[in-house]
A and B are shown apart, each in its own frame.
Chain A
């Protein structure tokens, strides 16, 4: 390490074994927690609160099932990123060729952009309900997103983003204020059961929406690029796994809290339209502070989702084009990378402000494209994790990894197919409409 010409690493000396372990974890933590909590974006707030508003606590068990699934998928991404030092888009492009590489990149950019539009739609809705005109609130959100990444420091971005993730914990306060039936919630979390009325098409598609919300394509690309940008080392894998696991636990717990807030609305007998309408209706239960907090959490979720989604696009594009792409670089040093990020944010924010923009069509398109994207992205992930030529015996999937992951892939394929068939050809499966984030679902 003390070779001439090589800079000495900046080390922090510690004397206690425990403080060394804690700091060892803290310097590695970030990508896993951020990718998971950013997944609770505006669409997730809408989906989870709608699930609570329509079915009370009856779908909490779905979240518990999704905890190991989301952990296993994201752990693979972290492992691949640490082993290769490359992003997911770069690995697909280089190992599977230009056709699959460009398909994955195009699909990712398209679905990310449309999802980004829904994030800004949520910012617009939340700001208008908070008394801020969308013409002011949306550009302010866009500027905040640009400021977040434009400092030329990965660490600064990570700390600010983790702070936003921390704000998400306010959902625990909201859930407590909602006064849930703890015993019923605990029972419905651990014992899978169907709500009253059985497996209606509305319920099936809401469950699919929850699965699709919890495991999104951009997450694979984001975490692997983030791990590569942070330059996590082979020896950091254990802490990266813990980081991902903590993120998975928090995201599922926060999602459960959102369902509990929705459950309060369910007990009032309200008809769900969107989280903002639900927040206003819950004022007698949560107070004015609670209503404002839900709206602020909506905006926070949208901002978190927007920065992660835009970054996954910018990293992926930069990797495939072989541009310089790192949050450690200034805008002048990585102009293409930042240009993609800025373009995504600016175009999505601008689109939301256009009067009469087809937001509902965009929401449906996001569902279809995410349905197409997730299985393909996850298949490439699974194949790459079995690529012994790159990973060797140390990082390659174990047989039990493969058994779990192929099961997850089969289930996701089936669910995505059912959702896509229902959206594209609604008469094929059922006449019942798909629950939309705007709340046009099937009330119980």
Chain B
């Protein structure tokens, strides 16, 4: 008996459906030994843009706070 697409194919002509929680856990693609993501140019630029965006948001909050304090 083999498992294919979550369906047990027996020698008999019938097909069986197995709920994922009842199935034997499969080995996933991620494992802890992989460590950090490779810093490709795309990753570096994206994280840089994200940092810039977050800094801009913090500056906006600071501006708003100072405006309210001055009001």
Contact = CB atoms under 8 A, between A and B. Distances in A.
To the question of whether A and B form a pair in one complex, the answer is yes
B25 interface: yes
A375 B53 contact: yes
Interface residues of A, number: 58
Given A14-B15, A389-B37, A392-B29, A372 B64 contact: no
B17 A23 contact: yes
Nearest to A1: B1
A326 to B, nearest CB: 10
Nearest to B25: A231
Contact of A13 (B16, B19, B57): B16
A379 interface: yes
B14 to A, nearest CB: 5
Interface in A415-444: 417, 420-421, 424-425
Interface string B40-71: 00110011011001101100110110010000
Interface residues of A, dominant DSSP: helix
Contacts of A425: 60, 63-64, 67
Interface in A365-415: 371-372, 375-376, 379, 382-384, 386-387, 389-392, 395, 413
Contact of A84 (B5, B7, B28, B35): B28
Contact of A27 (B2, B19, B42, B57): B19
Contacts of A328: 21
Contact of B20 (A1, A27, A371): A27
A83 B30 CA distance: 8
B32 A9 contact: no
Contacts of B36: 95-97
A78 to B, nearest CB: 13
A382 B50 CA distance: 13
Contacts of B17: 11-12, 14, 20, 23-24, 27
Given A413-B53, A424-B61, 16 more contacts: A9-B23, A12-B18, A13-B15, A14-B15, A28-B6, A83-B29, A86-B28, A91-B30, A95-B37, A97-B36, A231-B25, A232-B20, A328-B21, A379-B47, A390-B29, A391-B29
Interface of B: 1-8, 13-26, 28-30, 32, 34-38, 42-43, 46-47, 49-50, 53-54, 56-57, 60-61, 63-64, 67
